[in-house]
């Protein structure tokens, strides 16, 4: 039986809410390399000293299919050396991520460039950014992946979204897995065709008695799902592959039918671009010790006044006895472009502090130590937005009052938690 998710957040019931990536983190492949070139008297080189840093902390976005400019060409990176050194020194790159001092999470150390690494990048740039010998290259791991997958499913045909109006377009596709028995999924990975125009990529599991068009070209839809569509998993900018902790897995019903819900958003220069995206699944044969579930917390009842530099909204809750004890293993905070900070706590436990918030780096904090929420525990989450004219991603000129909405030029305030119930 799929767990009902009907409590602890304001607004419409969860089957009508766009639930974005709660399970998709973007972990680099290895811990950051330690380099002492800056103190050795020998100028760092790209292959021996710089590439390992970029591979771990940068190429998850700066690759051929990433949201940012690719670092695949060493000569291109060489030309960018002063910019890379300056932006890392200023703390502008890598983009903001949840603070592990609040609660540590998997691969948190790779979400930053250390002072020692900044020194390497600065010395490399000052030395003229020498490439060095390719034979000295250190494998930093590259873009992480769970491939090869046990199952892959895609849109059947490429789609060119209509982003000529407000920049938003939604398209849905029915994906049938053909599995005779229930599937237990221990890992998922989005396979993004064109990340420059994809705002989210969500999978809903569809009830048996719900009719859904199977047209290969897909069908028009909204981003909040429909009655009988149960959120299962998703992706948003900054996300990547994700493996569930040992002993936990997510269930897909026999003969599972999934709706692939695509939200496209782009500026005028992206008109005419197409996309072909999907998901890869890693499955396991045995039922896990714990069935992983998704549990949304948040609010839809807010108005962000025009001109406000730090407007706060959120929710508080008291965990009820009938909910059962919840072992929280990860949290995905979600806001849109005007977001500037997100914090969440339960009892005395700080769970997430994403200050500053970065829409383009939406990570799930997969905790190194779970948080146990029991009856009577108090919880709080707070979203902060910058709706001033100076907001870096302000989409209204002049600023206007902004309310809840699924579109990229509206706002959300959610904490999508995942874990298991006793």
Per DSSP (E only), the strands in 132-245 are 151-154, 168-176, 183-191, 198-206, 219-220, 229-235, 242-243
Per DSSP (E only), the strands in 266-390 are 278-284, 290-291, 293-298, 303-304, 311-318, 326-334, 339-346, 349-354, 365-373, 378-385
The answer to whether residues 98 and 105 touch, using CB atoms and an 8 Å cutoff, is: yes
Nearest to 362 by CA among 29, 21, 69, 100: 21
Neighbours of 342 (CB within 10 A): 24
How confident is the model at residue 142, as a pLDDT? 67
* Interatomic CA distance for residues 418 and 332, integer angstroms: 8
Question: Which helix (H) or strand (E) element contains residue 419?
Answer: strand 414-421
* Interatomic CA distance for residues 341 and 333, integer angstroms: 10
How confident is the model at residue 41, as a pLDDT? 64
The answer to whether residues 152 and 281 touch, using CB atoms and an 8 Å cutoff, is: yes
Q: Torsions phi, psi of 365, nearest 5?
A: -80, 105
14-26+145-291: CATH topology = Jelly Rolls (2.60.120)
Q: How many angstroms separate the most distant Cα atoms in the chain?
A: 70
* Interatomic CA distance for residues 26 and 259, integer angstroms: 23
* Interatomic CA distance for residues 277 and 181, integer angstroms: 26
What's the sign of the alpha-carbon dihedral 69, 71, 73, 79? positive
**Which CATH code is given to the segment(s) 295-421?**
2.60.120.230
Q: How far is CA 113 from the centre of its chain?
A: 20
How confident is the model at residue 40, as a pLDDT? 52
How confident is the model at residue 63, as a pLDDT? 82
* Interatomic CA distance for residues 106 and 242, integer angstroms: 11
How confident is the model at residue 115, as a pLDDT? 94
Local confidence pLDDT in tens for the 422 residues of the chain: 333 222 232 333 332 333 333 333 333 334 444 444 444 568 999 999 999 999 989 988 888 777 788 999 999 999 999 999 999 999 999 999 999 999 999 889 888 899 999 999 999 999 999 999 999 987 777 677 899 999 999 999 999 999 988 889 999 999 999 899 999 999 999 999 998 899 889 899 999 899 999 999 999 998 888 999 988 888 888 877 888 899 999 999 999 999 999 999 988 889 999 999 999 999 998 999 999 998 889 999 999 999 999 999 999 999 988 989 999 999 989 899 999 999 999 989 999 999 999 998 888 888 999 999 999 999 999 999 999 999 999 999 999 999 999 888 899 999 989 899 99
- The model's pTM: 0.81
Structure tokens at 22: 């709660």
Nearest to 66 by CA among 271, 239, 189: 239
Per DSSP (E only), the strands in 194-338 are 198-206, 219-220, 229-235, 242-243, 248-252, 257-265, 278-284, 290-291, 293-298, 303-304, 311-318, 326-334
14-26+145-291 against 295-421: fold identical: yes
Neighbours of 182 (CB within 10 A): 12
Question: Domain limits of the chain?
Answer: 14-26+145-291, 37-136, 295-421
């Amino acid at each position: 039986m799929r767990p009902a998710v009907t409590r602890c957040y304001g607004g419409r019931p969860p089957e009508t809410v766009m639930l974005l990536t709660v399970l998709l983190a973007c972990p680099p492949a290895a811990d950051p390399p330690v380099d002492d070139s800056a103190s050795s008297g020998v100028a760092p080189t790209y292959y021996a000293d710089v590439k390992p840093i970029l591979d771990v902390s940068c190429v998850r976005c700066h690759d051929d299919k990433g949201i940012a400019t690719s670092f695949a060409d060493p000569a291109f990176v060489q030309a960018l050396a002063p910019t890379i050194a300056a932006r890392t020194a200023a703390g502008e790159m890598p983009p903001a991520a949840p603070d592990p001092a609040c609660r540590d999470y998997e691969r948190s150390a790779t979400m930053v460039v250390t002072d020692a690494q900044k020194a390497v990048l600065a010395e490399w740039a000052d030395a003229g950014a020498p490439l060095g010998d390719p034979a000295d290259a250190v494998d930093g791991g590259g873009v992480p992946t769970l491939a090869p997958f046990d199952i892959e499913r895609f849109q059947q045909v490429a789609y060119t979204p209509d982003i000529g109006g407000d920049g938003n377009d939604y398209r849905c596709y029915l994906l049938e897995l053909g599995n005779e028995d229930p599937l237990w999924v221990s890992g998922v990975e989005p396979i993004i065709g064109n990340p420059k125009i994809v705002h989210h990529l969500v999978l809903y599991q569809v009830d048996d008695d719900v009719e859904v068009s199977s047209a290969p070209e897909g069908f028009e839809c909204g981003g909040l799902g429909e009655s009988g569509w149960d959120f299962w998993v998703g992706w948003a900018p900054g996300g990547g592959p994700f493996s569930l902790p040992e002993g936990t897995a997510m269930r897909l019903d026999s003969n599972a039918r999934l709706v692939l819900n695509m939200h496209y958003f782009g500026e005028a220069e992206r008109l005419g671009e197409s996309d072909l995206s999907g998901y890869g699944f890693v499955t396991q044969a045995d039922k896990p010790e714990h069935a992983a579930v998704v549990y949304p917390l948040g609010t839809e009842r807010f108005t962000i006044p025009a001109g406000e530099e730090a407007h706060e909204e959120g929710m508080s809750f008291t965990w009820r006895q009938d909910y059962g004890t919840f072992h929280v293993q990860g949290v995905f905070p979600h806001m849109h472009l005007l977001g500037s900070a997100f914090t969440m706590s339960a009892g005395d436990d700080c769970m997430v502090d994403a200050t500053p918030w970065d829409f383009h780096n939406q990570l799930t904090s997969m905790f190194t130590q779970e948080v146990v929420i029991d009856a009577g525990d108090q919880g709080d989450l707070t979203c902060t937005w910058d709706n001033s004219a100076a907001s870096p991603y302000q989409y209204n000129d002049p600023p206007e009052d902004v309310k809840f909405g699924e579109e990229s030029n509206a706002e959300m305030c959610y904490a999508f938690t995942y874990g298991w119930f006793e």
